[in-house]
Amino acid sequence: MSGGEQGGSERQSAARRPVVRRSAGVLAGCLTAPVGLLYLLLAGLPLGAFLLWPRTRPHALRILGSGARRLAEVERGRRTRFFGDRFPEAYESRDAGGDAGAVRYLALRSFSGLVCGVVLALLGFGLALGGLLAGGVLRGTTGPVELLTQLLLGGVLLFLALQGLFALTALDTRLARERFGPSERELLRRRIDELSVSRAAVVRAVDVERRRIERDLHDGVQQRLVALGMLIGRARRSGGRDPERAAALLGQAHREAQEAVAELREVTWRVYPSALDSLGLEEALGGVAQRCALPLRIVYEVTGPLPRPVETAAYFVVCEAVTNAAKHSSASAVSVRVAGPSGGPLSVRIEDDGRGGADPAGSGLTGLRGRIAALDGVLRIDSPLGGPTTIVVELPCV
């Protein structure tokens, strides 16, 4: 799961929390805020002079930060208990800032908690005034003009108080994520890094694939077509003088043409198999099994349709892994299992009984890694010396 997806799932989980529990968490934050502010005052004032002097500043900040970290852990427990936030056990983002970051978080959290407490007190005071106003209406001591004025004023103040309360709770959430888990800036930075890496990998993979196709056409099909032309030319020159030799040359040319067509079909299958469009992934993998030089066992356990990019990536993963096993691993058999999605990712597992030692940095596996990374997928390779080699790929289907 990527960082952006994890943050989105946490926000959705928090939104589903019961309102009563989240309200209790807000009240608990208002109660812990004075404790943090009191600590900063009692510990910060004696250390103030040492914090100003550059030589003693690190030591004083370490002392002040040790207590701030403990109080910050209390806030972390409050977020987990009442809001359902799940933070990494040991996380220190580039925005956290060490001891200074702990002190800064405690200061901001205490200030926002105190302001939140003031807003809640004003809401309570407004409710009390609303009760008095309702009593005056029932007793008949409040006139229509005064009632309308009070309702308009009370409505505006209620709107402002609720907006302020929502803004303060959102600030509390943001401060907690910046301190205890990936902040929005951190998640955005990670996503940009992932996209930059995957884009470069895709460019490299496309270039490698283009060179491979060019090499296959030049060294294979083109050479056969040249030989075919030479055989036909020799047959034409021998047609009048030696009919038997011309017939033999034409037979050889016919076989060469059949082999060229077969090789050209093989190249086009490696570029993009037409069976994916017409028959689907299962039938396309069946074609791989027919052309494989090794015994290939395929277990296909997919329910429902798959996105076209996922089908294409899964097909080329199987093709590349099976080709590597046949060429380099001295394997005697290969097994492939394709399962999913049923709301989850597509899982592709390829295993051979070869000698192992596959290089994850090799050109073939690097190209696969780039193709999979472009779909936010995961590639895991386990290939110890002596074998077996296991390649597991997970591709999200959303």
Same domain, 70 and 30: yes
At 137, list the tokens.
């209406």
CA 348 to chain centre: 18
Lowest mean pLDDT among 92-101, 148-157, 328-337: 92-101
pLDDT at residue number 337: 92
Same domain, 24 and 146: yes
Is residue 196 included in any domain, yes or no? no
pLDDT band at 35 (very low <50, low <70, confident <90, very high): very high
pLDDT at residue number 264: 74
Is residue 386 included in any domain, yes or no? yes
Is residue 194 included in any domain, yes or no? no
Checking if the pLDDT of 17 tops 60, the result is no
Same domain, 178 and 129: yes
CA distance linking residue 223 with residue 229, whole number of Å = 10
Angle ∠(256,257,262) on CA atoms, nearest 5? 95
Determine contact, residues 374/202, Cβ cutoff 8 Å: yes
Same domain, 9 and 116: yes
Most confident of 47-51, 105-109, 265-269, 313-317: 105-109
Read off the pLDDT of each residue in 240-263 and give the average, rounded to a whole number.
79
Same domain, 391 and 313: yes
Helix (H, G, I), strand (E, B) or coil at 156: helix
Name, in order, each residue with C-beta under 8 angstroms of 269's C-beta and a sequence gap of 6 or more. Answer: 287, 291
Is residue 190 included in any domain, yes or no? no
Checking if the pLDDT of 1 tops 50, the result is no
Q: Please state whether beta strands 389-395 and 378-382 pair in parallel, antiparallel, or not at all (unpaired).
A: antiparallel
Last residue of a domain, one of 271, 286, 310: 271
Is residue 195 included in any domain, yes or no? no
Instruction: Show the beta-strand stretches assigned E in 40-108.
Output: none
Determine contact, residues 372/394, Cβ cutoff 8 Å: no
Most confident of 88-92, 161-165, 183-187, 239-243: 161-165
The pTM of this model reads: 0.47
Same domain, 113 and 78: yes
CATH number for the domain that contains residue 326 = 3.30.565.10
Is residue 99 included in any domain, yes or no? yes
CA distance linking residue 11 with residue 208, whole number of Å = 41
At 178, list the tokens.
């910046």
pLDDT at residue number 364: 62
Total residues found in the chain within this entry: 398
CA distance linking residue 278 with residue 275, whole number of Å = 5
pLDDT band at 10 (very low <50, low <70, confident <90, very high): very low
Q: What are phi and psi of 166, to 5 degrees?
A: -65, -40
pLDDT at residue number 95: 46
CATH number for the domain that contains residue 239 = 1.20.5
Read off the pLDDT of each residue in 42-60 and give the average, rounded to a whole number.
85
pLDDT at residue number 167: 92
Same domain, 267 and 210: yes
Last residue of a domain, one of 237, 255, 271: 271
Is residue 55 included in any domain, yes or no? yes
Residue 211 CA: distances (Å) to CA of 138, 217, 224: 88, 10, 19
Find the domain containing 112 and state its range: 3-182
Same domain, 136 and 240: no
Checking if the pLDDT of 284 tops 50, the result is yes
Same domain, 65 and 138: yes
60 Rama sector, left if φ>0, alpha if ψ -120 to 50, beta otherwise = alpha
Is residue 188 included in any domain, yes or no? no
Same domain, 260 and 155: no
Same domain, 53 and 162: yes
Same domain, 45 and 173: yes
CA distance linking residue 254 with residue 233, whole number of Å = 13
Domain count, the chain: 3
